[in-house]
Homo-oligomer: A and B are copies of this chain.
Amino acid sequence: MTERLSLRARSLDDADALAPWRERFIVPDGVIYLDGNSLGCLPRATPQRMEQVIRGEWGAGLIRSWNSADWVDLPARLGAKIAPLIGAQPQEVIACDSTSVNLFKLIAAALDMQRDRGNGARKVVLSEPGNFPTDLYMIEGLERQRLARRRLASRDSLLSALDDDVALLLLTHAHYKTGELFDMGELTRAAHEAGALVLWDLSHSGGALPVHLNHCVADGEGADFAVGCGYKYFNGGPGAPAYAFVAERHLAALRQPLTGWFGHAEPFAFSDDYTAARGIEQLQCGTPPVLGLAALEVGVDLIAEMGVARLYGKSQALSEFFCQCLGECGVALELVSPSDPHRRGSQLSYRHEHAYAICQALIARGVIGDFRDPDILRFGFAPAYLRFADIARAVGHLAEVMRTGEWQRSEFHRRAAVT
């Protein structure tokens, strides 16, 4: 790393209004963490909050805490906190289950809604090849039940694939591999014009950049449905609960197939027959996972305090600085993310035949990015706890790994269970 980059990093950190927030997270010594888009860092307040939930609410409060600690409303209360961060109203979002399970609920609900509107012949769920696998897989489960037909069309042919058979357009706002952003407004409008509904997966954009679900179309209806992940930019912990959004105009007609007791209008009436709750609560299925939700709440509160617009501004500055550093250090890697920072989320991805080994060599040096099969090296810029100095140092390590051919060592080629 050059002296110049080091100085530049210091001056950027000095000017960074978000710099003090790093102290609100526990970042391990000796680690530069460029993987907050896979699993966010631990907020400093989380262990204490969990101790309180575990010893106080569970241990001492026991069953009474469903009322006294208001566990029963935690999914909706947390949803209401996430809502403004994704351009939704509080009553349109709930935290529950996993992203995958929420995808199932909402894909099925969209198909059901089309049937109710007399569009039962529309069975196609349209997405793009290379979308995050679980999004594509969840369509397949419904396909096997003959409830859906999956259609994949590349980015440049999506609009022409939006024909009369399409019930739902299902896309990930920021691509998990490349970070490329879809124009949410353009696609939402096109889908609506074609008579389709839209479901946005916000896993790589929620908490990372401003999302405007309700107002993405200037003079038309906004997004219909959305899901998102709790363990990436929201720092909710490994396998944290996910969240789901349904536009208010759809809530009354909403019917989702995972009709569990917590989605019932009166769960504690214990009736034999299911009557869906009127609001977003209907999206709940089983008993809420209180420990996971409590941890997620800490992370969401932090992101809300920092503000997604500020966070996105800093992450764009971080990624641009990463590119500058690469240039100065003479590292030439094939960028697969958009070079325009406004067209990507909070990450940069590069293609290299030996991406896996390079990633492992970096991890051995304490620079944690990640690898995505088959040949993608992915660096995430979670701005809540990353410094410009970290970027400069990370690129210094990357330059060394490439210059020395360190990644060629056999130990870096052994595949782990999770890559």
* B-binding residues in A (CB < 8 A): 26, 28, 31, 33, 35, 38-39, 41-42, 46-47, 50-51, 54-55, 57-60, 62-67, 71-73, 97-101, 104, 108, 112, 129-134, 136-138, 140-142, 144-145, 147, 152, 231, 237-242, 255-262, 264, 267-274, 285-293, 295, 363, 368, 370, 372-373, 416-419
| Contacting residues, chain B, for A33 (C-beta < 8 A) | 62
Q: In the complex, what distance in Å separates the CA atom of A241 from the CA atom of B293?
A: 13
| Contacting residues, chain B, for A290 (C-beta < 8 A) | 237-239
Whether A144 and B255, one on each chain, are in contact in the complex, defined by CB atoms closer than 8 angstroms, is yes
Given contacts A99-B287, A131-B272, A268-B419, 7 further A-B pairs with CB under 8 A are A26-B60, A28-B59, A47-B51, A47-B59, A134-B261, A137-B260, A269-B373
Q: A54-B46, A133-B271 are in contact. Are A258 and B141 (CB under 8 A)?
A: yes
Q: In the complex, what distance in Å separates the CA atom of A41 from the CA atom of B54?
A: 10
Nearest chain B residue, comparing its CB with the CB of A70:
B417
Whether A104 and B258, one on each chain, are in contact in the complex, defined by CB atoms closer than 8 angstroms, is yes
Cβ-neighbour of A268 out of B50, B131, B141, B373 (below 8 A): B373
Considering residues A65, A257, A269, A290, which has the most beta carbons from chain B within 10 angstroms of its beta carbon? A257
Whether B286 and A62, one on each chain, are in contact in the complex, defined by CB atoms closer than 8 angstroms, is no
Q: In the complex, what distance in Å separates the CA atom of A418 from the CA atom of B74?
A: 13
Q: A31-B62, A51-B51 are in contact. Are A288 and B419 (CB under 8 A)?
A: no
Whether A259 and B140, one on each chain, are in contact in the complex, defined by CB atoms closer than 8 angstroms, is yes
| Contacting residues, chain B, for A289 (C-beta < 8 A) | 98, 238-241, 289, 292
Q: A133-B264, A144-B255, A147-B145 are in contact. Are A237 and B270 (CB under 8 A)?
A: no
| Contacting residues, chain B, for A138 (C-beta < 8 A) | 258-260
Q: In the complex, what distance in Å separates the CA atom of A152 from the CA atom of B285?
A: 21
A123 vs chain B, min Cβ distance (A): 13
Whether A417 and B26, one on each chain, are in contact in the complex, defined by CB atoms closer than 8 angstroms, is no
Nearest chain B residue, comparing its CB with the CB of A271:
B133
| Contacting residues, chain B, for A38 (C-beta < 8 A) | 63
Whether B47 and A268, one on each chain, are in contact in the complex, defined by CB atoms closer than 8 angstroms, is no
14 pairs across A/B with beta carbons < 8 Å?
Answer: A28-B62, A33-B62, A35-B62, A38-B63, A47-B55, A50-B54, A50-B291, A58-B238, A71-B239, A98-B287, A101-B101, A104-B285, A141-B256, A291-B295
Whether A273 and B63, one on each chain, are in contact in the complex, defined by CB atoms closer than 8 angstroms, is no
A55 vs chain B, min Cβ distance (A): 6
Q: A144-B257, A274-B140 are in contact. Are A42 and B28 (CB under 8 A)?
A: no
| Contacting residues, chain B, for A63 (C-beta < 8 A) | 35, 38-39, 368, 370
Q: In the complex, what distance in Å separates the CA atom of A120 from the CA atom of B292?
A: 40
Whether B418 and A285, one on each chain, are in contact in the complex, defined by CB atoms closer than 8 angstroms, is no
A338 vs chain B, min Cβ distance (A): 20
Nearest chain B residue, comparing its CB with the CB of A61:
B28
A33 vs chain B, min Cβ distance (A): 6
Whether A54 and B47, one on each chain, are in contact in the complex, defined by CB atoms closer than 8 angstroms, is yes
Q: In the complex, what distance in Å separates the CA atom of A100 from the CA atom of B285?
A: 6
Q: In the complex, what distance in Å separates the CA atom of A285 from the CA atom of B255?
A: 21
Whether B261 and A100, one on each chain, are in contact in the complex, defined by CB atoms closer than 8 angstroms, is yes
Q: A238-B291, A372-B270 are in contact. Are A67 and B259 (CB under 8 A)?
A: no
Nearest chain B residue, comparing its CB with the CB of A241:
B289
3 tightest Cβ-Cβ pairs between the two chains A and B: A98-B286, A100-B260, A100-B286
Whether A100 and B258, one on each chain, are in contact in the complex, defined by CB atoms closer than 8 angstroms, is yes
| Contacting residues, chain B, for A51 (C-beta < 8 A) | 47, 51
Nearest chain B residue, comparing its CB with the CB of A35:
B63
Nearest chain B residue, comparing its CB with the CB of A26:
B59
Whether B231 and A287, one on each chain, are in contact in the complex, defined by CB atoms closer than 8 angstroms, is yes
Cβ-neighbour of A417 out of B67, B257, B258, B293 (below 8 A): B67
